[in-house]
């Protein structure tokens, strides 16, 4: 009863936090009813602004998120936070979450935080993230922040769920700009130079601006310097990000991003269906060992095997 799709959908649309949590669990683990929930919730989405926050571990993403959320709450905005940590199957996600919770608004009814690990990753983490974003969007969040660790391909992929991505750097973590993964620089719509209280922040800012000037055609990418352990800078952080959002809206960049997100999600969805079919097929053929027997232990597609797969 409690997992009944209709119950979940109504609960989410009426703003019930515990039902939202349950709905996320259903979608995250691909439990019965997930597709129905998603299909009915989709039409209620599109209101939230999705901000991706990425960068090297330790740069201060969670701390930044926490202070930024404090500022957003002054504007009375409802906030969803998704912390994705694909490298840590179980506890990692929770640790990230706890770290955010330490400062952010545990008792604030208008902030909802969720951690995502890589468990149950069938279908891909970006698709899962995207779907959880949709649930939060339908729930009525104004802003949804997706924090991902900025290393590797999968994180870059997840960041494409966002309408806009802020890359957070800090002295000591990415002060050698050249060493930064090209991917992380390319996905940035905004740069944040965090830990402005530490030596090296000015140098990092300067180097970053020079790199941008040399390598980028889009000269509008802002570099925002701040200290995330204090709230002082965040009025400015907010107004800089707001300016960028307005620019994105004006240039219709958001529409394009959202269409791309849909394209990627449906692609991932089909891929995950094919994955399921593959699993079933292998089972039908008697399991992976009997398939190896068919090929005399060699790894190649015999005509017989090809035909069996197609059947």
Token pair belonging to 23? 């709905």
Q: In the window 59-78, what residues touch ligand GDP (CB under 6 A)?
A: 59-63
b/e map 78-110, b = 16+ CB within 10 Å: bbbbbbbbbebeeebbeebbebbbebbbeeeeb
Question: Minimum Å distance from CB 237 to ligand GDP?
Answer: 11
Binder among 40, 99, 209, 258 for ligand GDP (CB under 6 A) = 99
Number of other CB atoms surrounding residue 308 within 10 Å: 14
Given the rule CB under 6 A, which of 33-41, 42-50, 178-186, 226-234 is the region that contacts ligand GDP?
A: 226-234
Tokens of 132: 């959880």
Q: Of ligand GDP, Mg ion, none, which one sits near residue 227, judging by CB under 5 to 8 A according to partner kind?
A: ligand GDP
What is the rounded distance in angstroms from the CA atom of residue 210 to the CA atom of residue 103? 34
Among 22, 61, 78, 195, binds Mg ion (CB under 5 A): 61
Which of 16, 98 has the CB closer to Mg ion? 98
| Cβ at position 65, least distance to Mg ion in Å | 8
The whole-angstrom separation of Cα 309 and Cα 143 is 46
Closest CA to 64 of 196, 201, 181: 196
Report the site for Mg ion in 84-123 (rule: CB under 5 A): 96
Q: Rule CB under 5 A: is residue 63 a binding residue for Mg ion?
A: no
Q: Does 46 bind ligand GDP (CB under 6 A)?
A: no
Q: How far is CA 34 from CA 27, 29, 63, 74, 174, in A?
A: 5, 9, 32, 34, 40
User: Binding to ligand GDP by residue 197, rule CB under 6 A?
Assistant: yes
Do residues 82 and 114 touch, judged by C-beta distance below 8 A? Answer: yes
Q: Which of 15, 46, 58, 287 binds ligand GDP (CB under 6 A)?
A: 58
Among 12, 28, 50, 62, binds Mg ion (CB under 5 A): 62
For residue 225, state whether it binds ligand GDP (rule: CB under 6 A): no
Question: Does residue 102 bind ligand GDP (CB under 6 A)?
Answer: no
Q: Is 161 in the site for ligand GDP (CB under 6 A)?
A: no
Find which of Mg ion, ligand GDP, none residue 195 binds, CB within 5 to 8 Å per kind: ligand GDP
Strand partners, 224: 192
Say whether residue 286 binds ligand GDP (CB under 6 A).
no
Q: Which stretch binds ligand GDP (CB under 6 A): 16-24, 223-231, 289-297, 302-310?
A: 223-231
Concatenated DSSP letters of 113-141:
EEEE-STT-TT-HHHHHHHHHHHHHHHT-
Answer yes or no: are the C-beta atoms of 134 and 44 closer than 8 Å.
no
**In the complex, least distance from residue 145 CB atom to ligand GDP, rounded to whole angstroms:** 12
CB atoms within 10 A of CB 181: 16
Q: Interface residues for ligand GDP in 233-252 (CB under 6 A)?
A: none
Contact partners, residue 110, CB within 8 Å, separation at least 6: 73, 76, 77, 78, 79
Size of residue set near ligand GDP by CB under 6 A:
16
Q: Interface with Mg ion by CB under 5 A: which residues? A: 61-62, 96
Q: Interface with ligand GDP by CB under 6 A: which residues? A: 55, 57-63, 99, 194-195, 197-198, 227-229
């Amino acid at each position: 009863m409690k997992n009944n799709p209709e119950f979940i959908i109504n609960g989410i649309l009426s703003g019930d936090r515990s039902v939202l949590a349950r709905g996320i669990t259903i979608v995250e683990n691909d439990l019965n009813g997930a597709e129905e929930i998603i299909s009915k919730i989709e039409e209620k989405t599109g209101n939230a602004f999705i901000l991706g926050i990425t960068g090297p571990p330790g740069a201060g993403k969670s701390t930044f998120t926490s202070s930024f959320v404090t500022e957003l709450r002054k504007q009375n905005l409802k906030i969803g936070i998704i912390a994705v940590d694909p490298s840590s199957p179980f506890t990692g996600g929770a640790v990230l979450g706890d770290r955010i919770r330490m400062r952010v608004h545990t008792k604030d009814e208008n902030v909802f935080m969720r951690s995502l690990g890589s468990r149950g990753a069938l279908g891909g983490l970006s698709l899962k993230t995207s779907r959880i974003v949709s649930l939060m969007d339908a729930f009525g969040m104004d802003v949804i922040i997706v924090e991902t660790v900025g290393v590797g391909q999968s994180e870059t992929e997840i960041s494409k769920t966002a309408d806009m991505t802020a890359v957070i750097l800090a002295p000591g973590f990415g002060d050698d700009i050249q060493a930064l993964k090209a991917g992380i620089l390319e996905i940035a719509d905004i740069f944040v130079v965090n830990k402005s209280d530490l030596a090296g922040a000015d140098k990092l800012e300067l180097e970053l601006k020079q790199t941008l000037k040399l390598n980028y055609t889009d000269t509008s990418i802002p570099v925002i310097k701040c200290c995330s352990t204090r709230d002082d800078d965040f009025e400015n952080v907010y107004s800089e990000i707001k300016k960028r959002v307005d620019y994105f809206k004006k240039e219709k960049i958001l529409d394009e991003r959202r269409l791309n997100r849909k394209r990627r999600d449906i692609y991932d969805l089909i891929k995950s269906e094919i994955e399921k079919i593959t699993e079933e097929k292998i089972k039908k053929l008697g399991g992976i060992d009997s398939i190896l027997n068919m090929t005399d232990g060699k790894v190649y597609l015999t005509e017989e095997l090809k035909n069996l797969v197609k059947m």
